[in-house]
Structure formats: structure tokens, C-alpha cells
Amino acid sequence: MTENDTSDFHPLSVLAQPIFDDVRAWNPNEPEFHQAVHEVLHSIGPVLERRPDYVDAGVLERLVEPERQVIFRVPWVDDSGKLRVNRGYRVQYSSVLGPYKGGLRFHPSVNISIIKFLGFEQIFKNALTGQGIGGGKGGSNFDPHGRSDAEVMRFCQSFMNELYRHLGEHTDVPAGDIGVGGREIGYLFGQYRKITNRHESGMFTGKGIGWGGAQVRTEATGYGAVFFAQEMLAVHGESLEGKRVGVSGSGNVAIYAIQKAAQLGATAVTASDSSGYVVDDAGIDVDLLRQIKEVERGRIVEYAKRRPSARFVEGGSVWEVPVDIAVPSATQNEVSGADAEALIANGVRAVSEGANMPCVPAAVAAFQQSDVLFAPGKAANAGGVATSALEMSQNAARQRWGFDDSERRLRDIMSDIHHAAFDAAERYGAPGDYVAGANIAGFERVANAMLAQGVI
């Protein structure tokens, strides 16, 4: 998406269009943020018609403007003794349902538009979980790839030296995202504890199991995306059994989507990174993929070198591979309109977004017009933040749940999210439209709380 590229956007209602015009005027050169806001505004047009009290109370005007935006300098020293400077962000969007909750992303592409789009999405995603958490997001343009553990530690400590003052288990609870895994979370939490002289386990999620983390948190986003696909198929009397699944990416979300798909009788045949993708018709070997990507921090081509049944394709699009189910799990806007057409031509039945907004508007429209079951990220990948909320609950009660119990709770939450989105779409005359349903269901929960709490 580019700043002025709105050709794929649907027309907005007369009540929503002025809000979008203001968003573009107040937030120039932020195309990802505009895209996220437009999608929600388009979906909730019918809600505004039925609920003029939302309009009269200025719910939308308040909702599209973050409660707080923090941008700060992050100086650190690399292993050669050279001073480096990066930029840090935290956008605290809405706390009406609970403390701000959302991950931290460390990646060179991070900018204010991406952080705001992610934070805005997080409002509705978190509302859908029913777990009493608000929406926020943060990160930095720091690239941990290729950096030593010592360099990552020094960066994380400097990052937390500023961010700590805006956090707390009752205020803002970060987690991981792209570029922020167990290593980074450990360094960030350790520095927070050092600075504040408080061991607030509940102020950070995605922690190690041995020091306050929750079972299934690592797996939750990928598992949840597959559970949501399973729920969509079940409505039509179908299952994952025997299906070919295409997955993009090779991080946490992709790895555990692949694993859960296999456990439910499907065969995941692809994984990718920025260098290209692999196709393994025998089914992706999760243990090998984890060894290469999580332990060795290597490139996806190494998988094909060690797996006789796999082949590596440099560049290109992973969506050229014929599959029944697609789970985009890499990054935003990775599935183009042409990619969607290729998937449709090859007979894709369902798409469940594991990443945040991985499909451009043209791709979403193509799927919906072709009767492909389509689950937007705010519903399909909500399993990660839902399990983060479960981790917060365990920390507050000083309890630990087992893996099977935690996975059962995750499955129940994903089923509830599916029903909420499905029912909302039915109520507003858009049966089967999970984009509209997820946006409406999440928006109603947030808007009702805003009305109850007054103008704040």
C-alpha cells in the first residue's frame, strides 16, 4: 500500500467518511494505519446507522486517536564499541476494557504507521477475546538478526530504560512480536525488574516457563489460526483432515500453525523467509524447521538442503503453491491481489490470517467474491493475546496450568471468537463475512464500554 493508493478501498458510509478524512489529514504518510482504519470503518457502517448514540457520543473520533503515543531514542553500543541509535515506539490506543496489551516488534521496517496500524487492530482483537484487555503496540527499527546476544541485551536494556515508565501490570502489558522472542523478553523483563525494584510477573507476557511464563503461549497464535480455520470449515460440514496447508513465514506463528495442522490431520507443505520458500510435499518437519530458525537462526534454504523431500524456491511467491488452506503468517500486506487470484485458481478453500493484516484489500475482496472462507487476523490470530491474558491471570493468582488445560482454554476462546464474529455478521445482514463480523463484534464491546465510562 502507498500513501495515496485507495483504489482498492470500499466506499464508506456518510457517517464514517468524515472520520476517515480526518484520519488521513491528521496522520499523513501512514498508509498501513489508513488501511487498518478504513477496514473497520467500512465494516461498522451498518452499526452506526442502527446506533446513533455511538455517533452522538463521538465514539469513532475518540477511537481512531490513540490515548498516548510515545516515541523515544534508543542509544546502545555494539560489540566493536561503536555507538548506535535506534528509535523506539509505544502507542497506547485504548484502555477502556483493561490495561493496554500488545506486542513489541523489532524490525527495520518498523515506523509509526506500522505501530499504529498494529495498535488499532489490537483494540478489536483484544476485545474479541473477552479477556478484559485494552489495545496497544510498540517496537523499534532495531534489527536483532545477526546481532550477538550481548548486543541484543544492551539494546533491550536501553530500550527499557525509557519504556519502563509507561508500563505496569495494571497499565500496559507488552509481549513479543516479530524480532522479539524469549531471549529479548528475558532481557527486557530483567531490566524492568532492575529499574523498578519490583518483580511484577504480570507486566510482561511470553516469559520463560521457569519464571512466570504460561504453557501454550509460544504456540498460541499459530494454534489459534488453525483452530479458527477448523471452526470455519465445521460450519460447512468439513474438516482439516487430508487438506494441504500453505503457510508463509518461519517464525513462531508459522511453526506452530504447521504443527497444529499436522496434529489435526492436514499436511502443511510450505514455509518461507525473506530469501524464498520451501515446498515439502511430505509435510514440513517442524523439529528441523525449529532447529534451523530458532536455534541456528539460519535461512530457510538450509531446510531444503537437509530434507530430501523438500525443494527451495528463491524469491517468488509461496502462494503459487496449490493448497486447500492458506495461513499467511509472515507480515502485513504479504498477499497481493495476484497472489489471491493464484490461490483461488488452485482451489483454495479457506484463508486464516496468522499475521496481522497480511492480505491487501484487493486480496480480501477476491477471496470473498470467490466464496473462499476468509478469517481476518484480528479474529484468527487472537489466540496469542488471549493466551497472554491467561498468563496474566496465572501470574496474578500465582498459579500454573498444565499444557493440556491451557490448550483447551485456547481452543474454547477461539471457538467463542468464531461464534461472536459469525453471529455479528448474521445480525447485520452479512452472513459468512468474518471481516465484518469480527470488526462489528469487537467494536460493539469497546463502544459500549466507552459510553458507560463517559468522555475520557
137 is catalytic: yes
Q: What amino acid occupies position 248? A: S
3-class state of residue 323 by DSSP: coil
- Structural domains of the chain ordered from first start: 68-200 (3.40.50.10860), 220-371 (3.40.50.720)
Catalytic residue among 101, 137, 293, 378, which?
A: 137
| Long-range residue pairs from 63-68, CB within 8 A, at least 24 positions apart, any chain | 63/94, 63/123, 63/446, 63/447, 63/450, 64/19, 64/22, 64/23, 64/37, 64/120, 65/26, 66/91, 66/92, 66/93, 66/116, 66/119, 67/92, 67/93, 67/94, 67/95, 68/92, 68/166
Rounded to the nearest 10°, the torsion over CA 10, 13, 456, 67 is 20
Question: Do residues 222 and 258 lie in contact, with contact meaning Cβ atoms separated by under 8 Å?
Answer: yes
Please tell me the predicted confidence (pLDDT) of residue 297: 87
Q: 36-68 b/e with 16+ CB inside 10 Å = b?
A: bbbbbbbbbbebbeebeebbebebbeebbebbe
Question: Do residues 30 and 119 lie in contact, with contact meaning Cβ atoms separated by under 8 Å?
Answer: no
Please tell me the predicted confidence (pLDDT) of residue 6: 54
Decide: residue 190, CB within 10 A, 0-12 exposed, 13-18 middle, 19+ buried. Answer: middle
CA angle 250, 251, 256 (to 5 degrees): 90
Please tell me the predicted confidence (pLDDT) of residue 10: 82
Please tell me the predicted confidence (pLDDT) of residue 7: 54
Return left, alpha or beta for 449; rule: phi > 0 is left, psi -120 to 50 is alpha, else beta: alpha
Question: Do residues 444 and 423 lie in contact, with contact meaning Cβ atoms separated by under 8 Å?
Answer: no
Tell me whether strands 310-314 and 276-280 are parallel, antiparallel or unpaired.
antiparallel
Tens of pLDDT, residue by residue, the chain (456 residues) = 444 455 567 899 999 999 999 999 999 999 999 999 999 999 999 999 999 999 999 999 999 999 999 999 999 999 999 999 999 999 999 999 999 999 999 999 999 999 999 999 999 999 999 999 999 999 999 999 999 999 999 999 999 999 999 999 999 999 999 999 999 999 999 999 999 999 999 999 999 999 999 999 999 999 999 999 999 999 999 999 999 999 999 999 999 999 999 999 999 999 999 999 999 999 999 999 999 998 998 999 999 999 999 999 998 899 999 999 999 999 999 999 999 999 999 999 999 999 999 999 999 999 999 999 999 999 999 999 999 999 999 999 999 999 999 999 999 999 999 999 999 999 999 999 999 999 999 999 999 999 999 999
Helices (H) and strands (E) counted in the chain, each on its own, are: 18, 13
Sheet of 244-247, strand order: 267-268, 244-247, 325-327, 350-352, 373-375
Comparing CA positions, the residue from 414, 238, 245 lying closest to residue 346 is: 245
**pTM for this structure?**
0.93
Comparing CA positions, the residue from 43, 31, 41, 33 lying closest to residue 7 is: 31
- Residue that the C-alpha cell 527451495 belongs to: 312
Question: Do residues 278 and 311 lie in contact, with contact meaning Cβ atoms separated by under 8 Å?
Answer: yes
Comparing CA positions, the residue from 359, 327, 356, 336 lying closest to residue 254 is: 327
Whole-angstrom Cα distance, residue 138 to residue 140?
7
